[in-house]
A = this chain, B = another copy of it.
Amino acid sequence: MANQLSQLDQVFAALADPTRRAIVMRLCTDEASVGELAEPFEMALPSFMKHIHVLETCGLVQSEKEGRVRTCRLIPEALVGAEDWFQHQRAIWEARLDRFEAYVMKLKKERAAAKRPSKTAGKTTIKPSKRKGA
């Protein structure tokens, strides 16, 4: 089995849960023991531990046990990896916006050019589009 989820899959899935996001946020400021982390949540410890485990599995958190205390710390690389995905998409999206803007500018120019000689306002090609039976 071992469904071979990608790191991104796992990180996003981990962050989709508010409890886990809260844990990550908490660990951004400081490392902490499981008990400290769990304290704000009204949840049985075993349930809480599952969240910790999810965060460890996807590489967002590492922990180490010393005596009977397990201390957790954030691994920011995993976070950065996910952030990169967004930035990549945004780059693509913005490039597209730029293209669109350029296109609009071109249209504007053409329109201006078309307006000058006389009114050629008959070629609008508006499709009737959707009828909605009320």
Give A residues with C-beta under 8 Å from B.
6, 8-10, 12-13, 15-18, 21, 24-25, 28-31, 65-66, 74, 76, 79-80, 82-83, 85-87, 89-90, 92-93, 96, 129-130, 133
Contacts and interface: CB of A to CB of B under 8 A. Distances in A.
Count identical subunits in the complex: 2
A14 to B, nearest CB: 8
A16 B12 contact: yes
Contacts of A13: 12-13, 16
Given A83-B83, A130-B66, A92 B15 contact: no
A96 B130 contact: no
A20 B127 CA distance: 30
Contacts of A10: 16
A70 to B, nearest CB: 11
A77 to B, nearest CB: 11
A96 B66 contact: no
A77 B92 CA distance: 14
